Amino acid sequence: MNPDVSFVFDYIVPISLSHQYLSSVNSDGNHQKLLQRRQELSNSTTKLPELTTTTFQQTLTFVENFKRNQHKSITDKSRVLLQIPQENTNDNKTLTPQQLRYQLNLKLEQLIRTRVIEPHRVINRSNILPASPIKSKIVPKETFPRIIIPSYLNRSVDKSIISLSTTTINTTVTQDDLIDKDSLGDNDEACEEMMEEEIITFLQQQPMLDKDSFEMETEEYEAEFEEESLRDSESDVDVDNTFPVDPALLLSDKTRRVGSTEVKSGFIPSLFANVPPTIRFCNETERIEPLPLPLQKMMKWKMSSITPNVVKSAVLRSGFRLSDEGNDWLGTWSRHMKPVCFKAIREYQKINHFPGSFQIGRKDRLWRNLSHMQAVHSRREFDFVPQTFVLPADFLLFKRVFDEVSETKESKWIIKPPASARGQGIRVISKMEQVPKKRAVVVQKYIANPYLINGHKFDLRLYVYVPSHDPLRIYLFDDGLTRFASRKYSTSVKSLSDRFMHLTNYSINRYNSEYKSNNDSTACAGHKWSLKALWAYLKKRDVDVADVIERIKDLVIKTIISADSYVNVLTKANVRRKFSVHELFGFDVILDEQCKPYIVEVNISPSLHSNSPLDINVKGSMISDLLNLSGFMIPDRKDMSSDGSSRKKSKLPKSLIFDRRVLPQGLSTDEKVKHQYFAQRHNDEQIRKNIVDLLTPDDLRILVETEDEFARRGSFERIFPTNQTRKYLKYFETPRYYNLLLNEWITKYTRNEDRGIALLNTFCRKEIHLQNPAVDTNHMWTQYQKLHGHLSYRENDNANTNGS
């Protein structure tokens, strides 16, 4: 706590109640409580400082000066108010209680004006004074008393305008807002007694926590920038010509240790020159060096009704402020929106969804897209989804298949609402009359031979992160959850109605008395394991876990590609900049008795609620790595301000803030020619290899973004693109230039990543990646074609090989 704030808590002591007032208070016993509080305070060992009459004379002089200068501007008055005299401890004479109260309220006014005390923590005196006749009223506990302006100040400053720092800038209070002492009688003392009751209650509610060495060092770090942050106020009249932030220090990747804890920098520096850093996030076992206060002011996280606690904790550890108001936020974790709503997202903001991602998030759309891929390519290549029908549109087709299967053997089907979650409305059936004929449902062939562990059915929750759809980049978290049915599996038709046996959702099985929780992420116990624990279990039973994981990756990539075209169209039409959208998917996968994976569903808002240490360990680590991958940046003040007020403040260092020139942007004519050239020849392998021979500024921006993102991946694995994923390019509805570019770049430098990064850095130092259009002819595709167009592709390829 700031020393000036503790000064207010320690020294504002109201005057005791008069006997006349006590006799007038209603007899509900409240005055007895007030007297008891007064006695407790009197018995306290804390003593008030002795304020001298000399100081009081100086204060009166200050008031008279304020009265004479009341015609001046608010800025001039603020300067006068800051000249509050300091007490002189050489004088042994003490002030009267009234003089003490007046002096302390002047001090409180100063602290509010200098923004040491948050304005919303105080309230006006008129808000806590009881109406006449006097009735006992207790101030709400969440507030802190506002400045008490004594009545003799009202007479001294007649009809003056006093500027107060409240929730809005330069709010003014006239004499009409002040209450004359003569009309109050003893209400001054009543108000002060209620203030004392509130202050004591407020102090008693404050948690008494022992500070560790890290917290003490953090406070010292914040104190270094306190003076600058005060000058860097939100007021438009506050102009700060100095800036204490050292970019070289903040961009250093060095870490320090506090005890056994490693403290990392608040920024993750880029691998490349002239590229701004991203904000660092950490899990609960790590620590981050707080960013300077001027930078923290720009870090605001927009809350929503579904923001998970693990997300809140992660952003708070990085220095974000949580708010549900305003539009100056950097990130949010909220529900999916209609595509048109994405148009309101600013360039530097990030929202955790893509427009159109419901194409795989809804069970009926997921099947439509995958069945389309089966028709275009082959059912064999997309055999990881059970046979599915969308009713009532496919009712006749389903009935024919149902009759054919039931004639040969017993058939089991699972019915799901198309857009439900947490197992709602899901049931297993075996008779045609159990199928609804008019209600919209998805009917899927039930996997009757699941892989069982200890006799229980289970499924896998995989966390898949997509930071970009053009180019498509997919990451798979190396851990997840294994969720078991809480009752042993049976193939009997009589057990089909048992949801604890056939459904693996935690939201369902937790209500079973047989459900056993598991708090150890490494243990194979209970009805919920970590994914790593499952892999270890299967390895001991000679299961080819590597093959299972590769099949799962294949399933994930093909599923996301099935909706790629739709998502890209909506993103291009509704999102200002692709930087602003990213998404976490929860893939639910089940293994049959041969350990072949099948997709159950895809969640576009997977549950991140953490009900156990196991959940916290898995989801907390995943979220911190995901936020690091997403690449949040400190925005420029002029981007956040619409009224131009930021121009009056000091500018943030350009090397630390969001720079739209670094991100992919509109293509120049030269770059459009290159895109069209390779898109039309994407089937020619020799031509595709030449795509990285000459890199345009736009190519550099895409590659720099990709390499920086890959360096921040943490425990995520990039499963697309890799040097083995060229085979997936044929599944895209239309060839995308950026996918071709990344595929060839990764293939070329997969065994020599440092060389590729060094090449990009050479161009970034020359600021080639910031040009639009290209100025350097060495990075113009049309010029390259003129010089090298006469070479055959084989000669060109040999020249590149010899040069490398």
Q: Which residues on adjacent β-strands are paired with residue 323? A: 302
Tell me the pairing of strands 321-323 and 287-288.
unpaired
User: CA-CA distances (angstroms) from residue 31 to 101, 375, 542?
Assistant: 22, 83, 78
Question: Average of pLDDT values for 728-741?
Answer: 96
The DSSP call for residue 258 is E
Question: Where do the H-state alpha helices sit in 631-733?
Answer: 637-640, 669-680, 685-689, 697-711
Read off the pLDDT of residues 175-190 as tens digits, 9 standing for 90 and up: 333 333 333 333 444 4
Quick check: bond before 97 cis, omega within 30? no
Query: What band does 243 get if pLDDT is binned at 50, 70 and 90?
Result: very low
For 771: left if phi > 0, alpha if psi spans -120 to 50, otherwise beta; the answer is beta
Query: What band does 565 get if pLDDT is binned at 50, 70 and 90?
Result: very high
Residue 196 has a pLDDT of 42
- Note the pTM of the prediction, 2 decimals: 0.71
User: What's the rounded Cα separation, in Å, for the pair 656 and 633?
Assistant: 8
Q: DSSP string spanning 181-213?
A: HHHHTTHHHHHHHHHHHHHHHHHHHS------H
CA distance between the termini of the chain: 60
Residue 119 pLDDT exceeds 70: no
Question: Average of pLDDT values for 39-67?
Answer: 52
| Percent of the chain topping pLDDT 70 | 67
Read off the pLDDT of residues 246-270 as tens digits, 9 standing for 90 and up: 787 788 777 787 777 888 999 999 9
User: What's the rounded Cα separation, in Å, for the pair 309 and 286?
Assistant: 17
User: What's the rounded Cα separation, in Å, for the pair 18 and 34?
Assistant: 12
User: CA-CA distances (angstroms) from residue 414 to 401, 436, 505, 562?
Assistant: 14, 12, 14, 23
Closest alpha carbon to 487 in 473, 471, 498, 474? 498
Among the residue ranges 400-409, 468-477, 662-671, the one predicted with the least confidence is 400-409
Sign of CA dihedral 543, 549, 551, 555: positive
Mean residue pLDDT across the chain: 77
The DSSP call for residue 494 is G
Query: CATH 3.30.470.20 occupies which residues in the chain?
Result: 358-604
User: What's the rounded Cα separation, in Å, for the pair 452 and 490?
Assistant: 11
User: What's the rounded Cα separation, in Å, for the pair 383 and 381?
Assistant: 6
Confirm if 620 and 313 have CB atoms less than 8 A apart: yes
Residue 189 has a pLDDT of 41
Higher local confidence (pLDDT), 478 or 226: 478
Higher local confidence (pLDDT), 247 or 33: 247
Residue 404 has a pLDDT of 86
CATH homologous superfamily of 358-604:
ATP-grasp fold, B domain (3.30.470.20)
Residue 220 pLDDT exceeds 70: no
Both tokens of 457, joined, read 């059915």
Q: How many other CB atoms sit within 10 Å of the CB of residue 250?
A: 19
Closest alpha carbon to 591 in 543, 558, 523, 559? 543
| 3-state DSSP assignment of residue 330 | coil
Which residue type does 758 have?
A
Both tokens of 469, joined, read 């759809």
- Block residue for tokens 């501007």: 73
Classify residue 404 as exposed, middle or buried by CB count within 10 Å of its CB (0-12, 13-18, 19+): exposed
Among the residue ranges 141-155, 233-247, 343-357, 723-737, the one predicted with the least confidence is 141-155
Both tokens of 311, joined, read 């997300």
